């Protein structure tokens, strides 16, 4: 049974995996009376996508303003007839950077790689979700064991939902302006929304963009890590931190803080996966505990520090999330909420992982070590070509 945590004037509910998230999301869509905004990286044409699309269509049919913003790369496989079905009943659909070419890696073309990776939803400005979960079946069809991806979302009811609503309206307005639609009207809303953002003690919506908030999510992590006194638990699907972030973790371990990393155990993206392995020996030498999740793919982007500070959201700890993509994380400073997430992660570590032991690098054959180092070099080279060579 999921607990509801009261933080200031907000109610927070931690949701694990699609089995908890999607029914709650659709229930809140069905309860909306005025407006719905939804942003996602992947909107898949599968059973889960159909369930959410049907809820959105029902809302639009009863007169609710429904606006869906999809990433042009992550949702590229969504059939046009799905979009047409939504549009027919009045759902407004926009695309974030729909055109992308894999051959344009020059610095002048870097904007093509800036993706909308946020997973946000808000209903009536009163109920909102901040998630790492895409709109897709969370049990992989290739997985013979049929375990869901390990992932999280948080449902927020209260004043912070209004802040999330304002942020989503702003981005919708920017995309509309870029598409030469409703230009003046959306510019006016953009200005008004910036002036109406709410602030709630103990809860912070942290957004990453390529303008004024390029390092906000990374800075939030580093402040928590630098202030840690007892324990840091990070569960992250694609873990490839820059040098400063990595040093912060190592320094925390050196001052006696227990540092626990729950990482991807299955190979999803080979270069990223093996590049992460290049960091293992250095981390293990400093006493960092590393666990690889085994039952299915790990897709989580969460952390808990000292059982008091927690974050749930869309941002991986890799250069693509921290340097290129639009991301959204919720930071919560509350012992109840952080304690629930911590207990959940420790339960996964107790039964669903393989621990990486000391001497990991030595135990591998020369080919594995070479692949890891080459993969790490490829990622560094790519980031350097994009103009971010000092960040990793």
Superfamily of domain 4-201: Endonuclease Chain A (3.30.870.10)
Give the whole-angstrom CA distance, residue 157 versus residue 127: 5
Which of 27-47 are b and which e, b meaning 16 or more Cβ less than 10 Å from the residue's Cβ? ebbeebeebbbbbbbbbbeee
> Is there a common fold for 4-201 and 216-391?
yes
Residue 158 has pLDDT above 60, yes or no: yes
Sheet with 4-7, strands from edge to edge, namely 4-7, 10-16, 152-158, 127-131, 119-123, 35-40, 65-71, 92-96
Q: Is the pLDDT of residue 377 over 70?
A: no
Give the bridge partners for 11, in sequence order.
6, 157
- Judge contact between 315 and 241, C-beta under 8 A: no
pLDDT score of 387 more than 80: no
**What's the DSSP call for residue 200?**
B
pTM of the entire structure?
0.88
Residues taking part in catalysis: 117, 119, 124, 299, 301, 306
pLDDT in tens, 27-65: 999 999 999 999 999 999 999 999 999 999 999 999 999
Please, what CATH class does the domain formed by 216-391 belong to?
Answer: alpha beta
Q: What is the pLDDT of residues 120-148, one digit of tens each?
A: 999 999 999 999 999 999 886 655 557 78
- Map out the domains of the chain as residue ranges: 4-201, 216-391
Summary mean pLDDT of the chain: 85
- Reading the block at residue 6, the tokens are 């009261």
pLDDT tens-digit series, residues 205-252: 999 987 778 899 999 999 999 999 999 999 999 998 888 999 999 999
pLDDT reported for residue 390? 45
Retrieve residue 228's tokens. 């840690």
């Amino acid at each position: 049974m999921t607990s509801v945590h009261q933080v200031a004037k907000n109610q927070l509910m931690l949701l694990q995996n699609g089995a908890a998230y999607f029914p709650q999301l659709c229930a809140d869509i069905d309860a909306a009376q005025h407006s719905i905004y939804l942003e996602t990286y992947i909107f898949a044409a599968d059973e889960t996508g159909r369930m959410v699309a049907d809820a959105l269509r029902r809302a639009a049919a009863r007169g609710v303003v429904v606006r869906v913003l999809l990433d042009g790369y992550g949702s590229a496989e969504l059939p046009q007839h799905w979009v047409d079905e939504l549009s027919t009943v009045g759902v407004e659909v926009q695309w974030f950077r729909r055109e992308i070419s894999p051959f344009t890696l020059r610095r002048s073309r870097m904007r093509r790689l800036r993706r909308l990776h946020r997973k946000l939803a808000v209903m009536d400005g009163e109920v909102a979700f901040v998630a790492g979960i895409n709109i897709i079946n969370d049990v992989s069809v290739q997985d013979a064991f049929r375990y869901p991806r390990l992932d999280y979302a948080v449902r927020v009811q209260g004043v912070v939902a209004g802040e999330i609503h304002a942020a989503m309206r702003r981005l919708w307005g920017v995309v509309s302006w870029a598409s030469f639609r409703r230009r003046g009207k959306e510019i006016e809303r953009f200005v008004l929304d910036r002036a109406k953002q709410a602030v709630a003690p103990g809860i912070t919506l942290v957004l990453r963009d390529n303008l004024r908030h390029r390092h906000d999510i990374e800075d939030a992590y580093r402040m928590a890590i630098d202030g840690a006194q007892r324990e840091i638990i990070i569960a992250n699907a694609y873990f490839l931190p820059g040098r400063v972030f990595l040093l912060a973790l190592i320094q925390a371990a050196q001052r006696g803080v227990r540092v626990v990393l729950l990482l991807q155990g299955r190979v999803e993206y080979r270069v990223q996966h093996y590049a992460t392995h290049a960091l293992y020996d250095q981390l293990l030498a400093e006493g960092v505990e590393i666990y690889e999740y085994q039952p299915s793919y790990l897709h989580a982007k969460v952390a808990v520090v000292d059982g008091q500070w927690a974050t749930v959201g869309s941002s991986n700890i890799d250069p693509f999330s921290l340097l290129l993509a639009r991301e959204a994380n919720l930071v919560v400073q509350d012992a109840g909420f952080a304690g629930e997430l911590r207990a959940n992660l420790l339960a996964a570590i107790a039964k669903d992982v393989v621990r990486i032991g000391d001497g990991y690098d030595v135990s591998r054959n020369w080919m594995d070590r070479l692949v890891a180092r080459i993969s790490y070099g490829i990622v560094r080279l790519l980031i350097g070509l994009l103009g971010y060579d000092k960040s990793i």
